[in-house]
Structure 1
Amino acid sequence: MDTTLITTSTSLEGYKIIKHLGLVRGITVRSRSLLGNMAGGFMSLFGGKSSIYTELCEKTRKEAYELMILHAQEIGANAVINMRYDANEVMNGITEVLAYGTAAVVEKV
């Protein structure tokens, strides 16, 4: 994957936006496994951090993020500004994670 600049801001310090290319997104849908649900449920009995669910969430966000970057590169962007995440439960145990932002072509000033 080539280097693509990503920011949650509406501008990119030290760069000039040459062209806005529009919305880009990466979406992934994940479900928890039966074993993962059992282990996660067992861990919740004792409270504290649930490393099983944390790992699942991190992998899911990373996948959506990487898909967003690929989408941006496919349309010729070298940056994504105003990047955000969104997540929704599609049905019980199945979650959609969306990474999105505005693709842009930028140059260093």
Structure 2
Amino acid sequence: MPTPVSRHMVSTTNDVPGYRLVRPLGIVRGITVRSRSIVGNVGAALQTLVGGNITLYTELCEKARVEAFELMLDHAAALGANAVIGMRYDANEVAQGVTEVLAYGTAVQVEPGG
């Protein structure tokens, strides 16, 4: 089983502070597709009447991002990476009420010193 990539070794920049890039390993991604349930839609509709944060949708979005992020880390570890740089999220509606969340970046091997 590959060594997992630590969450603190993921950067939205093109480096990991305090580390030197040894080898790029390629693009990695994690994709999840989520739909809203009927119950969730009704609950969210009620929350919109009051205004403010629609917590049911916030929780759904956060779960999707976490799942996509973890899948990206698994993909990076499978390539032998110990870090991911240039990490980003993207989301697209693939059908009404169905959203794809993508976490992606470049898997790299780094070593201390930078």
Identical pairs, percent: 56
Residues paired across the two proteins, number = 109
**What is the rounded CA distance, in whole Å, between the counterparts of 1:32 and 1:84 in structure 2?**
23
Q: Let me know the Cα RMSD of the aligned residues.
A: 1.0
Q: 1:61 maps to what in 2? A: 65
TM-score when normalising by structure 1: 0.97
Displacement of 1:3 in angstroms is: 4.1
**What is the rounded CA distance, in whole Å, between the counterparts of 2:80 and 2:99 in structure 1?**
30
Question: Which of 1, 4, 28 is the equivalent residue of 1:2?
Answer: 4
- Which deviations, in whole Å up to 9, do the C-alpha atoms of 1:52-86 show, x marking residues without a partner? 10000000000000000000000100000000000
The unaligned stretches of length 5 or more in structure 2 are none
SS in 2 for 1:23: strand
Verify: 1:80 aligned to 2:88, yes or no: no
Verify: 1:48 aligned to 2:52, yes or no: yes
The unaligned stretches of length 5 or more in structure 1 are none
TM-score when normalising by structure 2: 0.93
Moved over 3 A (4+): none
Displacement of 1:2 in angstroms is: 2.8
SS in 2 for 1:8: coil
Question: Which of 75, 86, 104 is the equivalent residue of 2:108?
Answer: 104
Which AA in structure 1 matches 2:22?
Answer: I
**What is the rounded CA distance, in whole Å, between the counterparts of 2:90 and 2:48 in structure 1?**
24
Which AA in structure 2 matches 1:90?
Answer: V
- Which deviations, in whole Å up to 9, do the C-alpha atoms of 1:2-58 show, x marking residues without a partner? 343100011111100000001000000000000000000111111101111000000
SS in 2 for 1:48: coil
